[in-house]
Structures are given as C-alpha cells and as structure tokens.
Amino acid sequence: MNRRDQDCGGRTRTAASRTPVLAAAVLALGVLIGTAAAAGARAQKAAVTFGMSPAILRASQAERRREMRVLGIRALRPGKNAVHPHQANFANYIEAKANPYPRLPPLMRLNDGARVTTLAQWRERRAQIRALFAEYVYGRKPKNVPHVTWRVTSVREEMVYGVPAIVTHLIGHVDNSRDPAITVDIPVTLATPAAAKGKQVPVIIGDIFIHPFFPGMNGHHGPYLHFPGTTMCIAVGPPTEPAAEQLLKRGWGFASVDYDAVQPDNGAGLVKGIIGLTNRGRPRKMDTWGVLRAWAWAINRTVDFLQTDPAINPHQIGVMGHSRDGKAALLALAYDPRIAVGYISSSGKGGADLYRRNYGENLGSLASSDEFQWFDGKFLRYASPGYTANELPVDSDELIALVAPRAIFIGAGSLIMHPACAIPGDAWQDARGMFMAEAAASPAWNMYGEQGLGIHTAYPPVNTMVGSRYAAFRRQPYGHTPAPNWPYFIKFAARVFAIRK
C-alpha cells in the first residue's frame, strides 16, 4: 500500500495525508512553502513539518540554482500566497483580472501555418503538440528506459469497506543493470470484487485506497476537516462513500500506484528514481523528463500489467488522479491510447488549467523549489523576468486535445472565502481555467466525428455536469477534494465502458 508518498505541496506524505481529504488540507498549507513569504528559515520549518528534511530541502534548492545557472537565469518571479487575503502577494481570485492573455496557441494549425481539416493532418498536428510539450514543459522521456518485470507478491481475499475483494500486491521491477546503485520499483495494489471471480472487470488506476488511514477521510467530522496543529481546514462537505467502495459495489476494480517509489517528488531526487536511473545518477539535462512525466510513465507501465491480467478487461481501463496526481494522470491519459477514460480532479496548472490564466497558482509557484521538479529545466525560463506564460508555445487545451477520441471527465471544487480556515477552497486550481481548456480542446474530437465538451458551452453553475459522452466537466461546491465528483465520474465512465466491451 502507498504508505509513503508526497503531499500536494511537495513534502513527504504520511499514509494519512495521502488520502484525498487530508491531502487537500495539506495543500492549503503546503502551497505557502513555495512562495516568497515562506523563504529561508520559514521554509525549512514548514518543510520539516511536512516531512521534507532540511537536507533534502537544501539539496532541492541547490538543484534549482544549478538549473538556473545552466539556463542563464539570474532570478525567478515569486510565487503567490494562496490563503492570506491581507498579504500583498495574495493570489488573484477575481475573474475580471484572470485573462491577461486571452488568445491561446492555435490548436488546429500545423507548425507551417496550414489549417488542420483532415484526420491525417490532425495526427500530424498531434505529434507536433507532443513534441512541444516534451521540449518546453514536461521533458523528454529517454528512448532507452529500461524494461519492467512484474511479479505478484501476495494475493488474498479481504473485506474492503465491507465489500469482499481480491487484493493483489505486485511489484514492477525496473532493470537497473546500467546503474546497480539505483533501484527502482513500481509497487501496485490491485483490488477486484470477489463476486466477479472468473470474469473480466473494468479497473481504474489512481488515488483510490483500500482502507482509511485517517478516521476523518470520509467526511464524518462534519463539513470542515481541521488540520491538527494548524489554523487551516478544508471544506469537505457531507459524508460520502469512499471511491473504493463505490467501484467495488459497481463490480469494478481499482489499482493504486506508489509514485514516490518510482520517482521522489523533490529536486534532490532527480538523481534518483527512474529519472536518475536513466541518467546513471548524473544531474539531468534541461530537456530531460520531470517528475510528472515519470509518474505518468509508471501509470503506463501499470497498464502493461493490467492488460495481461485475466481478471481485467483490457478495453476498460481508466485512470484517476487528484491535485498533482491529476497532472500525472492527465499526462498518462493523453499519451497512452490503451486508457479509455480519465477522471482528472483539481489538477490545476501543470495539469488541465490554462497557463495563460492569472488565477490561483502562477508560474512563479510552479517554479518554486518544491515544484520545479515536476517539469523539465527549460520550463523555468517562463517564470523568469522577461518571460510570461504567453511565450509558452503550448497551453493545456492542447494536452487535453491529445486525449481525443477517448474520454475525459474533469472535476473541480469552488472558491471558498469563509470561514478563514478554508480559504481558498479549490480556487488555487482554477476550475474555470480547467473548463476553458477542456472546451478549447473540443475540435480534436470533431476530427473523429465525435463531440467534445463544446467550444461554445457556457461555464456551468455548481453541481451541474456538462459535456458529451467523451468529454465532461463538473464543479462541486466544496474545497480541494475529489469525493463529491466520484459518483458522476463513475456514471460517465460506465457509458464509455459500455461502448468498449
């Protein structure tokens, strides 16, 4: 089980904080660490609070400085403050100020300017978009990534939230013969309903947990979950059935991947994990893949195993991710045609949100010493003086467009300004910006004779799901939690799976 992982703000997560609800509370605090207000001693104190040792913090900062020197960058714009309205660097949550760069890069034009009008041209454009993201945002996955060998470590029947399930623990071992000093494994926990034994079932890979690590994870402590020892809380709404229970009762399975075992979520770890192994422990080059692409690779390798498992329907595999895991899930979905559907929850910038929006998190925050590792080194340039998001040759609508003609459900929460402990709800992730990106990606589905979200679809009120059978969006009225949108995603995915038998 995923007992050691990274929280939403860049620090090592405990088993408790890895749950969706508590991870959201960690985000509310963790986003401050990457801001100018959390520099120096405060950053070290906060990092220790969330499990990142001072040594790892210093090494991460040193790696970012090294990459800045390689790129010739002397300074970076500061990040924003997510939760303190009275501070000067408080993030913008006013829609009238949110679109300084309203024109997105042309999705349906080839690099030579020719308009995309045929499926053949779209396939050419799709390859161009992937290349741009690889060079300027997520980094290039090496061509010589070592082979993964899977083995099952245990299989047993147990009760998962009151539902009999077959729980399988497996390990994907990455061949490390090129650098035996670096060991990389992909630990996966797979659960399928015991009642479906002998049948092939759909499976969702993602932030789904077999047992509650924290008693408040299901919302039983009321509409607000207070983070112990802090003044922060998260609006979680009424109690809901855990995702694992919903999936198993539906007759589906789920798989949880330990991303941190594959690639540590800090700058110090870039010489370790799968990134370090492929680079033989040396500092990365500026176009080398970052943590998000490495995590997406782990999801794609998990699909390799699931397609060989006789208990899994190989045509009915989905992916789910929340917050930073949602960024990785979107990458995996965009790049792997074997994944039929994705639930991308509150992924924000670096995920489904438009970089060209001035709302919530900014590029300075993404370039902070506890988030820069998500991307390749070149991405730092866009957070340096003289550059803005408008200079990026791509934006997130183009990443979403790579999913077509498969299916995507984007979920988000809402802006919350009262009570003070819950500020800003889910606004750091910018629900409207994610909706705008999904809508702008719609022409990609048209190339296959299908409908996307629709470029003229109006931004919906809370608790209203909009879209088509291949692209949907829903905003819930609470904070940074995927729970309220889970039932709607399951219904959406069921319609997709009904087509993909």
| Segment 221-232 mean pLDDT | 78
Q: Name the domain count of the chain.
A: 1
| Segment 104-124 mean pLDDT | 98
Three-state secondary structure readout of 416-472: CCCCHHHCCECHHHCHHHHHHHHHHCCHHHHCCCCCCCCCCCCCCCCCCEEECCCEE
- Does the pTM exceed 0.75? yes
| Segment 94-109 mean pLDDT | 97
Range of the domain at 419: 5-499
- Predicted confidence at residue 61, as pLDDT, reads 97
Q: Is 165 helix (H, G, I), strand (E, B) or coil?
A: strand
Residue 83 has pLDDT above 80, yes or no: yes
CATH code of the domain containing 207: 3.40.50.1820
- Predicted confidence at residue 239, as pLDDT, reads 87
How many degrees, rounded to 5, is the angle at CA 420 between CA 417 and CA 426? 45
Residue 320 has pLDDT above 60, yes or no: yes
| Residue 234 to residue 236: CA distance in whole angstroms | 6
| Segment 129-139 mean pLDDT | 98
- Predicted confidence at residue 211, as pLDDT, reads 78
Work out the widest C-alpha separation in the chain, in whole angstroms: 61
- Residue 225 pLDDT class (50, 70, 90 cuts): confident
- Residue 262 pLDDT class (50, 70, 90 cuts): very high
49 versus 362: the higher-pLDDT residue is 362
- Residue 227 pLDDT class (50, 70, 90 cuts): confident
| Segment 48-59 mean pLDDT | 76
- Residue 223 pLDDT class (50, 70, 90 cuts): confident
- Residue 221 pLDDT class (50, 70, 90 cuts): low
| pLDDT tens-place string over residues 184-211 | 999 999 999 999 999 999 999 999 988 7
- Predicted confidence at residue 478, as pLDDT, reads 97
The DSSP code sequence of 316-383 is EEEEEEETHHHHHHHHHHHH-TT--EEEEES--TTTTS-TT--SSS-HHHHTSTTTGGGS-GGGGGGG
- Predicted confidence at residue 229, as pLDDT, reads 74
| Segment 92-100 mean pLDDT | 97
Q: Are strands 163-174 and 148-160 parallel, antiparallel or unpaired?
A: antiparallel
- Residue 51 pLDDT class (50, 70, 90 cuts): low
pLDDT over 90 percentage in the chain: 82
